[in-house]
Amino acid sequence: MVDFICSDPLGITVVTSKVLLPSDLLIIKNYVKNLKNIDSSQVNTPCLPQFKSYLKIIGISYYPHRNMQNHLSSQDVELVIKQNQIFNNITLISKPKVIKVSPKSDMTIIWVNIWDSQSGVKAKDLINRCFNVGRYIVTIRAANANPGILQCKNCWRWGHSTFSCRIQGSKCVKCNGPHKLKNHCKFSWCCKANEKTNPLRLKTKKGKSYLHLFKCSNCRDEHQADFTT
């Protein structure tokens, strides 16, 4: 197997006939530093080329706390990964993505993308391993690139694509009203003034920040339907 190692900003590339160990990388670093006409202060730590591996974590509730008020967020997942020893030497490519298994389910799937070697050794070491998250025992599984649940951009419901949507007209992503997003302030009741409410509801002026919370048509949380954590 052939690997390439680069030492920027010098632009040095080393080609080997085997997968290198950390001790091999250290030997290469010391060798490059001792070369003539090389400024040793510019020699960074050599590294193997990185590839992406895709994982998912299953077996945890969307509302992991008993009070059922705060749902699981990507920040919560990052903290768990940082504190758990099985994720030592694991670097995330992006923030974990937290999605419900289905609109009516209280369980979730966590999509995690990590930097890995060409052989995927880090992912292989994690797949099918279990660990505790509070009162839940969760499992790591392999996943495909760019996974997720389909969400229609017409009715904003989960589980089908825009092209297969069966409703007539469009739904608003903010209030689920029978209008498009651009007409939300014009037609939605939540943007109109109402003196009978307590507290008093003021009219949302065009181009101004919204003065109210939204209600997701999928999970009924206080956010618009295309929100993901």
pLDDT tens per residue, range 32-83: 777 777 776 666 666 666 788 989 999 999 888 766 667 888 889 999 999 9
Reported in sequence order, the residue ranges of the chain that DSSP labels E, i.e. its strands, are 3-7, 12-16, 51-61, 97-100, 107-116, 130-133, 136-142
Confidence of residue 201 (pLDDT cuts 50, 70, 90): low
Phi, psi of 24 (to 5 degrees): -65, -40
DSSP helix, strand, coil percent of the chain (3-state; round to 5): 20, 25, 55
The mean pLDDT value for 22-36 works out to: 77
pTM, two decimal places: 0.52
- Which tens digits make up the pLDDT trace of 90-146? 989 888 888 887 767 888 889 899 988 878 889 999 999 999 988 899 999 988 765
Between CA 125 and CA 72 the distance in angstroms is 25
Q: Which pLDDT score, from 0 to 100, does residue 179 have?
A: 83
3-state secondary structure of 33: helix
Answer for the pair 147, 56: CB distance below 8 angstroms, yes or no. Answer: yes
**Domains of the chain and any CATH numbers:** 3-42 (no CATH), 51-142 (3.30.70), 150-229 (no CATH)
Q: Which pLDDT score, from 0 to 100, does residue 80 have?
A: 92
- Which tens digits make up the pLDDT trace of 169-196? 888 888 888 888 888 777 776 777 666 6
In the β-sheet with 130-133, what is the strand arrangement from edge to edge? 97-100, 107-116, 51-61, 136-142, 130-133
Rounded to the nearest angstrom, the gap between the alpha carbon of residue 190 and the centroid of all alpha carbons in its chain is 31
